[in-house]
Amino acid sequence: MCGGIEYHGDKIYFPNPEARLPVRLRTGNVTWITWGNRKKEANRDFPNGGWARLDSIYARKWKPWHPRPVLIAADQFMEKDHEDKSHWIPLGHNMVIQGLLAERKNEQRVYVVTVETPPEYAWIHDRWPRLIRLRS
């Protein structure tokens, strides 16, 4: 489900309450936005977790948060398998992770969009970040 990403040597893990993800702007620069919402946080304005299933986006379940698609810059991402072992998956050239930008009360959070895992990685986890190839 993408429990962490690495970007320019920095590893960001969802359990960290200070976790922010690098969201790519149209200019090519990045801005850092808080990754999801944790159960321990006092903020009840956003859904718990750090992920948004693509089918739930299509079903308009995210509509109350005015969702917008964004691109998350990453060099690799981390998935934990059923034995809690971490696996780092490198992203190819021009690849990014699709994110969902949620907004409420002038605050923003970013969630990793997930899809079914490709068959070759199904042994790791049943959900996978949606990967997007940028045009060169």
Which residues span the domain enclosing 129?
4-133
At 6, the amino acid letter reads E
Going by DSSP bridges, is the β-strand pair 107-116/51-53 parallel, antiparallel, or unpaired?
Answer: parallel
What's the confidence (pLDDT) of residue 121?
85
Residues of the chain scoring pLDDT < 70: 42, 136
Tokens of 124: 């790791």
CA distance 136 to 123: 32
pLDDT given for residue 42 in this prediction: 66
Distances (CA, A) of 47 to 35, 41, 92, 131: 11, 11, 30, 22
What's residue 85's pLDDT? 93
The conformation of residue 27, written as its DSSP 8-state character, comes to: T
- Residue partners of 59: CB distance under 8 A and separation at least 6: none
Tell me the per-residue pLDDT of 79-115, one tens digit each, with 9 for 90 and over: 998 899 999 999 988 999 999 999 998 999 999 999 9
Calculate the alpha carbon distances from 129 to 16, 27, 61, 90 in Å: 19, 23, 18, 12
CATH code of the domain covering residue 75:
3.90.1680.10
Question: Residue 136's pLDDT is what?
Answer: 65
Q: To which residue do tokens 């981390």 refer? A: 78
**Backbone torsions φ then ψ of 67, nearest 5 degrees:** -65, 140
Total structural domains within the chain: 1
Global confidence as pTM: 0.93
pLDDT at res. 1: 72
